[in-house]
């Protein structure tokens, strides 16, 4: 059958020369499957302008062999082939978790065939003879579909956090100015960053700031709370899995590394990562390759890793709970996020910021900040940090006043109560340590929740695992 091959400068071809060069430079592979030698030769030569390597195959059997040996980002597949048809193999590919682009081509097309092709998972469908600009347009559409699918996934996971992405950087204190200066230096690089700091101090917001200031800003930012995923599922969540890889895996899952491709993966509470996963993450950091659960080949990834923890990882290393080599690999650039009590001059700025934020969100007027309330905010050490302050402001805005009786423990001016009475009622020394204040506050919240740890953790703004770890440590004292 004759095939029309025409060069074109049509505006439909949306990929620029720079994008084509970048795609080839990143090592993208394409597979051409057609039983006509002329068509294979043409497609092979055409696709070499967009991919660093193009492999030809004359049958599905040959294509399967090549597919097992290489990672292809695009397959141009004829429907009518000797042995297994292209449609049958496409269905197998999608069921097995292949997320790459697939363009189906055929010389015998009708509406039923086109519908079957799209249902099987093809991004586009071309009827022979076709022009070269039609092939380019099909490839562009497929790339756009994959990009939009990734972006939609990321947006669904992070829409709430995106709305609050400026919170942590609010402040003009010396420590915040120094932090902004450090972030300005390291963000444009691809260096792995380990963010440390107390719970609620704003580590995820700072991670988002790093991403927005980097060259990856137009690519996804994908967060994962390691403490929120069970140890049995975290490997699948990160690396993905194939269909049937384990009991209950009825559908394939590409994994968070796939969705973060070209962007940033933020691993919060990295100290909660199981030891076996620490080994696998270390290998990914070194080799830049992942292997989905149930897959028999590795996939190259281009992802920047940002990690965060509220525990002392050096101490965890000494206790054998965290790998030393992973600790140093994550700690290429250590960044400490200061607690709110170390920057009291920022508290009033944050209070006003949160009142304006919730005023827009709740559509109510901000509360009046009196000198008495300003003094109360400064008198409290905020063990829950920015998150605790935010929650308190939200509650106050909903109630329409600052609930003094509902203020956290010790958020009372010294001249309002007798210190001796405070000691007898709380059972604390006059100059209690931060650990004692935190412990008393957590126990008070637990008591108000009738021992419900999940509810207490929600009110405190920490994970249940963190709360349980603290309770276990106190019980062993």
Strands (DSSP E) found in 237-337: 264-268, 289-290, 299-300, 304-309, 333-336
Cα–Cα distance for residue pair 327/314, rounded to 1 Å: 8
Phi, psi of 364 (to 5 degrees): -135, 160
List of residues 6+ apart from 275 with CB closer than 8 A:
321, 322, 323
In this structure, what token pair is assigned to residue 427? 């059972």
Question: Is it the case that residue 431 has pLDDT exceeding 60?
Answer: no
Q: What is the CATH number of domain 164-338?
A: 3.40.50.300
Question: Is it the case that residue 425 has pLDDT exceeding 60?
Answer: no
What is the model's pLDDT at position 321?
94
Question: Is it the case that residue 375 has pLDDT exceeding 90?
Answer: no
Question: Is it the case that residue 475 has pLDDT exceeding 50?
Answer: yes
Q: Provide mean pLDDT across the span 376-392.
A: 88
Cα–Cα distance for residue pair 114/45, rounded to 1 Å: 26
Q: Do 195 and 370 meet the contact criterion of CB atoms below 8 Å apart?
A: no
Nearest CA to 349 out of 173, 170, 163, 169 is that of: 170
Domain ranges of the chain: 17-147, 164-338, 364-475
Q: Provide mean pLDDT across the span 299-304.
A: 92
Average pLDDT of the residues of the chain: 81
Sign of CA dihedral 148, 154, 156, 160: negative
What is the model's pLDDT at position 426?
45
Q: What is the CATH number of domain 17-147?
A: 3.40.50.2300
Question: How much of the chain exceeds pLDDT 70, in percent?
Answer: 82
In this structure, what token pair is assigned to residue 423? 């000691």
Cα–Cα distance for residue pair 300/407, rounded to 1 Å: 51
Whole-structure pTM value:
0.63
Nearest CA to 261 out of 226, 292, 300, 293 is that of: 300
Q: What is the dihedral of CA 28, 63, 45, 105, to 10 degrees?
A: -100
What is the model's pLDDT at position 78?
92
Q: Flag the least confident range among 355-364, 395-404, 439-448.
A: 439-448
Q: Do 239 and 291 meet the contact criterion of CB atoms below 8 Å apart?
A: yes
In this structure, what token pair is assigned to residue 390? 């935010």
Which secondary-structure segment (H or E) carries 88?
helix 86-95
Q: Do 263 and 275 meet the contact criterion of CB atoms below 8 Å apart?
A: no
- Render 51-72 in DSSP notation, one character per residue: -SEEEEESSHHHHHHHHHHS--
Question: Is it the case that residue 12 has pLDDT exceeding 50?
Answer: no
In this structure, what token pair is assigned to residue 457? 């953790």
| Contacts of the segment 427-434: beta carbons below 8 A, 24+ positions apart | 434/381, 434/383
CA–CA distances in Å: residue 233 to residues 241, 273, 396: 10, 11, 39
Same fold, 17-147 and 164-338: yes
Question: Is it the case that residue 296 has pLDDT exceeding 90?
Answer: no
> What confidence category does residue 17 fall into, taking pLDDT thresholds of 50, 70 and 90?
very low
Question: Is it the case that residue 114 has pLDDT exceeding 80?
Answer: no
Nearest CA to 252 out of 121, 141, 140 is that of: 121
Q: What is the dihedral of CA 33, 36, 38, 43, to 10 degrees?
A: -20
- Render 364-385 in DSSP notation, one character per residue: -PPPP--HHHHHHHHH---TTH
CA 90 to chain centre: 29
Q: Provide mean pLDDT across the span 451-474.
A: 76
Nearest CA to 237 out of 220, 223, 218 is that of: 223
Beta-sheet pairing, 333-336 with 221-225: unpaired
Instruction: Of 20-34, 247-261, 455-469, give the range with the top mean pLDDT.
Output: 247-261
Question: Is it the case that residue 424 has pLDDT exceeding 80?
Answer: no
């Amino acid at each position: 059958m004759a095939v029309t091959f025409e060069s074109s400068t049509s505006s439909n071809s949306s990929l620029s020369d720079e994008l084509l060069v970048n795609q080839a430079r990143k090592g993208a592979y394409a597979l051409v499957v057609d039983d006509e030698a002329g068509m294979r030769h043409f497609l092979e030569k055409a696709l070499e302008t967009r991919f660093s390597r193009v492999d030809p195959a004359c049958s599905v059997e040959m294509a399967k062999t090549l597919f097992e040996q290489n990672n292809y980002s695009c397959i141009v597949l004829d429907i009518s082939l000797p042995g297994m048809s292209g449609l049958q193999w496409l269905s197998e590919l999608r069921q097995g978790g292949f997320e790459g682009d697939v363009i189906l081509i055929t010389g015998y097309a009708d509406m039923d065939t086109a519908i079957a092709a799209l249902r099987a998972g093809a991004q586009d469908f071309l009827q022979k003879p076709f022009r070269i600009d039609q092939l380019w347009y099909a490839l562009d559409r497929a790339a756009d579909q994959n990009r939009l699918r990734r972006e939609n996934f990321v947006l669904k996971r992070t829409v709430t956090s995106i709305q609050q992405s400026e919170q942590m950087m609010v402040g003009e204190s010396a420590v915040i100015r120094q932090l902004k200066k450090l972030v300005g230096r390291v963000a444009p690089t691809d260096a792995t960053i380990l963010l440390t700091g107390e719970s609620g101090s704003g580590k995820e917001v700072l991670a988002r700031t790093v991403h927005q200031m980097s060259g990856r800003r137009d690519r996804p930012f994908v967060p994962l709370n390691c403490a929120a995923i069970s140890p049995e599922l975290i490997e699948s969540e990160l690396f993905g899995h194939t269909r049937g890889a384990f009991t209950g895996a009825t559908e394939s899952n590409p994994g968070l590394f796939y969705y973060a491709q070209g962007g940033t993966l933020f691993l919060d509470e990295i100290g909660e990562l199981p030891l076996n996963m620490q080994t696998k993450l270390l290998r990914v950091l070194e080799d830049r390759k992942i292997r989905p659960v149930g897959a028999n080949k590795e996939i190259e990834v281009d992802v920047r890793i940002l990690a965060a923890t509220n525990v002392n990882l050096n101490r965890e290393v000494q206790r054998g709970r965290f790998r030393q080599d992973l600790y140093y690999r994550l700690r290429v650039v250590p960044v400490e996020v200061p607690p709110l009590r170390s920057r009291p001059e920022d508290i009033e700025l944050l209070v006003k910021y949160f009142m304006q934020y919730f005023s827009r969100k709740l559509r109510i007027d901000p509360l009046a900040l009196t000198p008495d309330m300003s003094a109360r905010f400064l008198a409290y050490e905020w063990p829950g940090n920015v998150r605790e302050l935010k929650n308190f402001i939200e509650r106050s805005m909903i109630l329409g006043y600052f609930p003094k009786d509902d203020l956290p423990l010790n958020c009372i001016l010294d001249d309002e109560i007798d210190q001796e009475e405070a000691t007898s009622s709380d059972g604390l020394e006059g100059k209690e340590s931060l650990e004692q204040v935190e412990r008393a506050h957590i126990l008070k919240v637990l008591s108000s929740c009738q021992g419900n740890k999940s509810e207490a953790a929600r009110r405190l703004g920490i994970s249940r695992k963190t709360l349980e770890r603290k309770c276990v440590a106190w019980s062993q004292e």
